Structure 1
Amino acid sequence: MANYVDGFVIPVPKNKIAAYLSTAKKGAKIWREHGALDYKECVGDDLSVKFGLPFPKGIRAKSGETVVFSYIVFKSRAHRDKVNAKVMKDPRLAAMCDPNDMPFDCNRMLYGGFKVIVS
């Protein structure tokens, strides 16, 4: 049973979704190989909601951008820390993270670790 999740919200230019998908598939493989229990990347589909704060407004998406919501599942925070330490040392990740060739603006990515309270 999973007890910890890393969550991400990322504004991605619509014309870079294909490039983002390629990067995401590689990332999923790397995280799973190092022990993540699950890895999901979800692109916005119904973002014009009339209640709450819509993701595009909350992340200040610009014209031509959509929102990607992603999460990685771990056994515990300690497990997350162990997996992420391995991932950060993986040369495949470094090769994917050229700041001049990213399909999104890393400085606008929202990120956090979450304890699972209902499953």
Structure 2
Amino acid sequence: MPYVDGFVLPVPKKKVQTYKRLAQKAGKVWKEYGALEFRECVADDVKMGKLTSFPRSVKLKPSETVIFSWIVYRSRAHRDRVNAKVMKDKRIAGMDMKDMPFDAKRMIYGGFKVMVDS
């Protein structure tokens, strides 16, 4: 079964296009090293929940939107190999986290085993 890295992060609305350009570049790098899919999605129908929600999960501010993204790999071992190469690539390794168009401290991410693939 495939393996998926998932991400949820807040991006200032005024920086969505900047984030999109960054994501397009990053997607090319991940795909070059073998990722099967690289998806970046911007919130469209995401409401603030009473207890939990995408906005609450990242402590969304009124001036921000939520980005939901994922990368698909053949397996966890494949993910680990791809990410090791990506992190050494000068296009990614040279990025300064202080210059990112989002607050990385509020980003949620993790690796997931696919349990249903239909």
Q: Smaller-chain TM-score range?
A: over 0.9
CA contact under 8 A between 2:48 and 2:54: conserved in structure 1? no
Greater mean deviation of Cα atoms: 39-48 or 53-62: 53-62
Aligned residue pairs: how many? Answer: 117
Q: How does 1:4-83 map to 2 (within 5 A)?
A: 4-48=3-47, 53-83=52-82
CA spacing shift, 1:63–1:49, aligned 2, 3 Å = closer
Q: Amino acid of the residue matched to residue 76 of structure 2?
A: R
Match for 2:112 among 111, 114, 117?
A: 114
Gaps of at least 5 residues in structure 2 are none
Equivalent-residue separation in structure 2 for 1:41 and 1:51 (angstroms): 26
TM superposition shift of 1:116: 0.1
CA spacing shift, 1:49–1:105, aligned 2, 3 Å = closer
TM superposition shift of 1:51: 7.9
Counting aligned pairs with the same residue, the percent is 56
**CA RMSD, aligned part only?**
1.5
SS in 2 for 1:60: coil
SS in 1 for 2:78: helix
1:89 equivalenced with 2:88 (yes/no)? yes
Gaps of at least 5 residues in structure 1 are none
Q: Give TM-score scaled by structure 1 length.
A: 0.92
Cα deviation per residue 1:7-64 (whole Å; 9 max; x = unaligned)? Answer: 0001100000010000000010000000000000000000126687321012211120
Q: Give TM-score scaled by structure 2 length.
A: 0.93
CA contact under 8 A between 2:49 and 2:56: conserved in structure 1? no
TM superposition shift of 1:94: 2.2
